[in-house]
Structure 1
Amino acid sequence: MSVHAADPSLYRDRDVVPVRRALVSVSDKSGLLELAGALAESGVEIVSTGSTAQTIRDAGYAVTGVESVTGFPESLDGRVKTLHPAVHAGLLADLRLESHEQQLADLGIAPFELVIVNLYPFVETVASGADAATVVENVDIGGPAMVRASAKNHPNVAIVVSPSSYAEVVEAVRAGGTTLELRKRLAAQAFAHTAAYDSAVASYFASDVVAAGGSAAADDADVEARSAFPTSLTIDAELADTLRYGENAHQRAALYTAPDAAGIAQATLLHGKAMSYNNYVDADAAVRAAFDFDEPAVAIIKHANPCGIAIAPSDAADPIASAHAAAHACDPLSAFGGVIAANRPVTVAMAETVKDIFTEVVVAPGFDPEALEILSRKKNIRLLTLPADFALADREVKQVSGGFLVQDADRFTGFDQTTWTLVAGEPADEQTLADLAFAWRASRSVKSNAILLANQGASVGVGMGQVNRVDSCHLAVDRAGDRAAGSVAASDAFFPFADGLQVLLDAGVRAVAQPGGSVRDDEVIAAATAAGVTMYFTGERHFFH
């Protein structure tokens, strides 16, 4: 029986641990020299490995090479550096126990109070398209061992895995030592870090195995699909903020951010109250809609559904202001209290319009200085800027009871109208084709069943989230009013009967884009032909639940 289990009363309290000796071994060297300088200034002995030690040494700071500690040279092209009792005993010794302290003294081993380690860039190496041999060499062995050992021994050792923690740790060192609360928090981050790392490695090897063969009975499509997804899924995210409440006041909520991501969770709040759960949901939906377009575009969202989407005409003097005006005109009533996303910086002209409309959130890549000043006069509006490297996610994860669903994000294809099939009426002219392409693209942001009416690059009526397509058609037409006549329509999925299409035809829609594929396509085509309306089959659908 170990002494730990036999007599826990032997533990000595160690809340604040002064830092006298640090082990530093990092692949990501951002902030390394500032860290080394601060440790040296505080009289901390720095033990380091390989290129990390050389970088510190070249900067003029004293550093002890790990080979001096182990009495064994780094070997096997750097595969073996820290895997040695002289290192790991210094990491794992529980100095709350006199017996451990005595054993270190007998062995002539000094303990570490601080460990700074980040791991080989495995994920980045895979993403770069490197060959298998290079990927394998970036599977870190010694790094995770040091991280886990230090995290296990957090009553005595502070483990740091991210440069973002350097400032807090340096402050603690200067103040006399790390607290137990800080060490526990860093240990939690460390275990999450190695868990995510191991998951990425496991996923790579599992995908490689499936891609190389898999089941002999599986067809090529099945093998390709299975090879695209890991055999296990780890959600790697850090707590960024606790929110006031969730969708409703009785629900607790928090925001977690994924590492190396650049989305709405990483947006900067320039003005206004803290974001709520619903603000984040709607802002994400708005950004998703606006950034589906290459042209200057604005989306206005209410309860995760668009009440207006528009792109700017090519000759607009102020494109983003023009796109906002057109989007707002679609459904001004619903836009009250909505969330606005623009895929270009907000201009003064757009700000002058928005300031007179009650709006919860405006999110954009940026704000012209005067536009920011204008909107900041409104106390209750939230102004967000997206990260400079903002990008829509390639994969989507949705929780279901007992598990998760994972899918590729709906990235549009089929916008080259030459791939569409004309099934009714005359070929559309250039402007009508452009409006159909806009409507078809914009329909992807509308909850199913989705019907979107558009004219001149702007939605004029949206029917969304209905349990049958006929109701969605009625809703889109009702919201469009007189604007339905002469508009074009897009349906996110096929018309199962002609009745939904007939609602659009009766309202005066001039052209329709829909996937096709219903067993009653002939009936639907006949209705469009009888009305003299142009209809294209796109060959794909855009369900959004």
Structure 2
Amino acid sequence: MAVKRALISVYDKRGIVELAQGLAALGVEIISTGGTYRTLQAAGVPVREVAEVAGFPEILDGRVKTLQPQIHAGILAIRSNPAHMAQLAEHGVTPIDLVVVNLYPFRETVANPAVTLEEAIEKIDIGGPTMVRAAAKNYQDVGVIVNPDRYADVLAELRATGDLSLRTRFALMLEAFQHTAVYDNAIAGWLATRGREIIAARAAGEAPPAGSGADSPFPQALSLTFTKVQELRYGENPHQLAAFYSDGTAAGTVIARAKQLHGKELSYNNINDAHAALELVKEFTEPAAVAVKHANPCGVAVAPTIAEAYRKAYEADTVSIFGGIVALNRPCDRETAEELSKIFLEIVIAPSFEPDALKVLEKKKNLRLLEIGPIDPNPPAGFDMKRVGGGLLVQSWDAIAEDPAAWKAVTRTAPTAEQLRDLAFAMKVCKHVKSNAIVVAKGGQTLGVGAGQMNRIDAARFAIKQAGANVKGAVLASDAFFPFPDVVEAAGEAGIAAIVQPGGSIRDEESIARADALGIAMVFTGVRHFRH
């Protein structure tokens, strides 16, 4: 069945004039609405307004324009059903064979943190999704296009055959329902979070509806929508299939928004490790460099310049950094690039790369360079999630800002100002190390990292051993409390000068007593940072 009539109503007008011109050249009658109608008319495309076809004008500031029987009957009629076609004839309805629609930019609108509830509500499209769903439901007879990237292929097929194949219409139907699902999920997600916050502020003093869960940040039904960015060569291992999806976050410093400037395609492990490196480097306000291997930091340092910070991060563990990922929180200059180019790295992440630095790093053909723009220290939007068999674990991000001024010295010896700075540095790193986690540091540089051990003393022993002779006078951070004083004893034997840990064990007094006996300063934060 040839395409004879098309309805075009789009917010995103990329390529719409060219599509309409191509359809008109094929003899397709075009009907349209509002801004799209005016755009096509201005371009000289023969077009009729929907209001003329429907016999009813647009009303309510455009809220009602396509919600008309003349439109929806033309879309939904099954061509092979004699009763349907007889009813169209009885009511003077002409079938619509192609629907080209995309929707008001809701996600783009609510990406602005200052958006009002009224502005968000006005960007909830009603007629558009209704037409898209109607056309998709009747895919056997109606083509539906929601993606401007499909225009050229659809035109080519129409030019070749005069119609769209069943497979093409089915593919377009699937994309259409995915499009409306993404749209509805974006609306529901924003209303359940930011929208609810706005209403709560306006309705302060009013009791929430019974059973509404209004006091919980977690919606009763959690709808997640992600758009495929790319398929990956494989997952964590070559026998696993993998792809990378984005939630469309339009703000903040997140790995999904990084711009790749150079190098081969990113892998599953690359993206996972790059996320870990980026989230850690965001912790620091002073120039900082983070080296990550297998999602754990292996070298972290701060310094007056970014080149010096990288050199210190490299020197922290010259073995593990090989083949790793480096994140910087300052633009990468030529001096830093020269240092980075001395070893094999998978990825370098930075807010930007100076032209001279790019010239140096681009000599390494496979080195991936990711530009992330100015760093926003806030955590990613939404929730931190982990998939488990049959379900999803959801939590807020571990984004608490540690305040060393609020920490409690629990030993007779208090840390010096310099030690306190190193303790704060070490705890920032420890927060991003897989538990059980121990970090040994000194002078704004990690010396040893004990990650992912099944018991805390083994994590401590590894970190202390890695620190080597530099451990004397260093500090030690633990992501959780000490169940026994064994870590304190190991620290004392090594010459550790100060310890920071959350506290909260029933054996805290034993650890405090051992620290006092060994002359170690110890502070409690009251905050645990497990990372699994």
> TM-score, normalization: structure 2?
0.85
Work out whether residues 203 and 232 of structure 1, in 8 Å CA contact, stay in contact via their aligned partners in 2: no
CA pair 185-325 structure 1, distance change in 2 beyond 3 A: farther
Alignment partner, residue 190 of structure 1? 176
Query: Is 1:403 aligned with 2:387?
Result: no
Q: Secondary structure at the match of 2:339?
A: helix
In percent, how many aligned pairs have the same letter?
A: 43
Query: Is 1:518 aligned with 2:518?
Result: no
CA pair 204-372 structure 1, distance change in 2 beyond 3 A: closer
Report which stretch shifted further, 487-496 or 115-124: 115-124
Alignment partner, residue 275 of structure 2? 284
- Per the TM alignment, residue 37 of structure 1 is displaced from its structure 2 partner at its CA by 5.0
Alignment partner, residue 218 of structure 2? 229
Alignment partner, residue 87 of structure 1? 71
Q: Secondary structure at the match of 2:243?
A: strand
Query: Is 1:344 aligned with 2:330?
Result: yes
Work out whether residues 204 and 230 of structure 1, in 8 Å CA contact, stay in contact via their aligned partners in 2: no
Work out whether residues 310 and 326 of structure 1, in 8 Å CA contact, stay in contact via their aligned partners in 2: yes
Structure 2: runs of 5 or more not aligned: 201-205
CA pair 345-187 structure 1, distance change in 2 beyond 3 A: farther
Q: Distance in 1 between matches of 2:526 and 2:148?
A: 49
- Per the TM alignment, residue 148 of structure 1 is displaced from its structure 2 partner at its CA by 0.9
**Cα offsets for 1:401-449 (capped at 9, x unmatched):** 111011111113123x221112124443333222221111111110011
- Per the TM alignment, residue 381 of structure 1 is displaced from its structure 2 partner at its CA by 2.6
- Per the TM alignment, residue 253 of structure 1 is displaced from its structure 2 partner at its CA by 1.5
Query: Is 1:430 aligned with 2:417?
Result: yes
Which of these residues, 524, 527, 535, is aligned with residue 522 of structure 2? 535
Work out whether residues 385 and 392 of structure 2, in 8 Å CA contact, stay in contact via their aligned partners in 1: yes
Query: Is 1:154 aligned with 2:154?
Result: no
Q: Secondary structure at the match of 2:401?
A: coil
- Per the TM alignment, residue 472 of structure 1 is displaced from its structure 2 partner at its CA by 0.9
Which of these residues, 250, 253, 273, is aligned with residue 242 of structure 2? 253
Work out whether residues 17 and 43 of structure 2, in 8 Å CA contact, stay in contact via their aligned partners in 1: no
Q: How does 1:407-422 map to 2 (within 5 A)?
A: 407-415=395-403, 417-422=404-409
> TM-score, normalization: structure 1?
0.84
Q: Distance in 1 between matches of 2:6 and 2:176?
A: 16
Report which stretch shifted further, 159-168 or 276-285: 159-168
Q: How does 1:470-489 map to 2 (within 5 A)?
A: 470-489=457-476
- Per the TM alignment, residue 464 of structure 1 is displaced from its structure 2 partner at its CA by 0.7
Alignment partner, residue 385 of structure 1? 371
Q: Distance in 2 between matches of 1:277 and 1:115?
A: 35
CA pair 423-165 structure 1, distance change in 2 beyond 3 A: farther
Q: Secondary structure at the match of 1:506?
A: helix
Work out whether residues 37 and 61 of structure 1, in 8 Å CA contact, stay in contact via their aligned partners in 2: no
- Per the TM alignment, residue 84 of structure 1 is displaced from its structure 2 partner at its CA by 1.4
| Aligned AA (2:396) | D
Alignment partner, residue 312 of structure 2? 326
Report which stretch shifted further, 238-247 or 44-53: 44-53
Alignment partner, residue 310 of structure 1? 301
Report which stretch shifted further, 452-461 or 116-125: 116-125
Query: Is 1:109 aligned with 2:94?
Result: yes
Query: Is 1:36 aligned with 2:36?
Result: no
Query: Is 1:501 aligned with 2:488?
Result: yes
CA pair 291-160 structure 1, distance change in 2 beyond 3 A: farther
Q: Distance in 2 between matches of 1:504 and 1:369?
A: 46
Q: Distance in 2 between matches of 1:223 and 1:493?
A: 32
Q: Distance in 2 between matches of 1:436 and 1:91?
A: 67
Q: Secondary structure at the match of 1:89?
A: helix
Q: Secondary structure at the match of 1:424?
A: coil
| Aligned AA (2:276) | A
Work out whether residues 20 and 40 of structure 2, in 8 Å CA contact, stay in contact via their aligned partners in 1: no
Work out whether residues 327 and 459 of structure 1, in 8 Å CA contact, stay in contact via their aligned partners in 2: yes
Q: Distance in 1 between matches of 2:421 and 2:468?
A: 22
Q: How does 1:195-274 map to 2 (within 5 A)?
A: 195-203=181-189, 208=196, 224=215, 226=216, 228-261=217-250, 263-274=254-265
Q: Distance in 2 between matches of 1:30 and 1:484?
A: 63
Q: Distance in 2 between matches of 1:286 and 1:180?
A: 47
Aligned pair count reads 515
Report which stretch shifted further, 396-405 or 258-267: 258-267
**Cα offsets for 1:52-104 (capped at 9, x unmatched):** 44565567766433211211122344332211121112323445778766765
- Per the TM alignment, residue 398 of structure 1 is displaced from its structure 2 partner at its CA by 0.8
CA pair 299-126 structure 1, distance change in 2 beyond 3 A: closer
CA pair 215-63 structure 1, distance change in 2 beyond 3 A: closer
CA pair 126-353 structure 1, distance change in 2 beyond 3 A: closer
CA pair 217-144 structure 1, distance change in 2 beyond 3 A: closer
Alignment partner, residue 118 of structure 1? 103
Which of these residues, 277, 285, 291, is aligned with residue 294 of structure 1? 285
| Aligned AA (1:242) | E
Q: Distance in 2 between matches of 1:169 and 1:267?
A: 32
| Aligned AA (1:86) | Q
Work out whether residues 22 and 115 of structure 1, in 8 Å CA contact, stay in contact via their aligned partners in 2: yes
Report which stretch shifted further, 166-175 or 526-535: 166-175
| Aligned AA (2:421) | A
- Per the TM alignment, residue 128 of structure 1 is displaced from its structure 2 partner at its CA by 4.7
CA pair 152-386 structure 1, distance change in 2 beyond 3 A: farther
Q: Distance in 1 between matches of 2:18 and 2:375?
A: 31
Over the aligned positions, Cα root-mean-square deviation in angstroms equals 3.3
- Per the TM alignment, residue 204 of structure 1 is displaced from its structure 2 partner at its CA by 5.9
- Per the TM alignment, residue 24 of structure 1 is displaced from its structure 2 partner at its CA by 3.3
